[in-house]
Amino acid sequence: MGSFTVARAIIVRLLFACHGLVSIWLLYQVTQEPRFWYLAASFGFLLVETTVTLVRKQGKEWKWFCPSVLIYLTMTVPAIWFLELHELEKRIDHRQSTSFNLSNMSLIEIHNETFDLSAHLGSVLGVKFEIRLPINLSPDEWIRTLEQLLLLLLILGRWMLPKGKLTHDQLSQLLLVYIGTAADIVEFFEAFKEDEV
């Protein structure tokens, strides 16, 4: 088992886990509902899959099926879906409130709401731990960013993962399938932008 193969396998899975956890965390921040943390259970499955792949398969991936990608998708797609639903409900509520000729202040408030990446990790021996990235984006911008990162990580992640028994031609075909899957996911999320929805 080459150390480069193991390093690539671990790096890709760490990227999958980080993006998935950020997606779930943002869902919690936007909705303030702790019940969505159940999506983080996929992280445990990713740890088990990583262990099995590194120990049993010696860092090599399955030929045509990649469990880490499936687990990654089960972690991120529902989180983004729930974020989209939440934003859709906010737009519907806003549209109904403006139809009753309420003040335009609500219009300004709904578009000026931003979130930054910050998490309070508690304190140890009187020292407070906090992660803060000063990136202020609206919830809709966060959703678009998460969607684009999902597509990027889906394609680049599969390309970076050890290819196992795949030839270069087979890997090229598989990457084309992943690009098609990514395009389908984009189309799926675009449904929320339609007026009829």
Q: How far apart are CA 178 and CA 72, in angstroms?
A: 13
Kindly give the confidence (pLDDT) of every residue in the chain, 197 residues in length, as a single tens digit, with 9 standing for 90 and above.
578 878 888 899 999 999 999 899 889 888 888 899 999 999 999 999 989 888 887 767 776 678 888 999 999 999 999 998 998 888 888 777 776 554 444 444 445 566 666 666 566 666 776 666 667 777 778 888 888 888 888 888 877 776 666 677 777 787 788 788 877 877 777 776 666 65
pLDDT of amino acid 121 = 57
Q: Are residues 175 and 136 in contact, defined by beta-carbon separation less than 8 angstroms?
A: no
Q: What single string gives the DSSP state of each residue in 14-34?
A: HHHHHHHHHHHHHHHHHH--G
Q: What is the pLDDT of residues 120-155, one digit of tens each?
A: 656 666 677 666 666 777 777 888 888 888 888 888
For residues 61, 159, 39, 196, the Cα torsion angle rounded to the nearest 10 degrees is -140
Domain that holds residue 61: 3-193
Q: Are residues 95 and 1 in contact, defined by beta-carbon separation less than 8 angstroms?
A: no
- The number of domains in the chain is 1
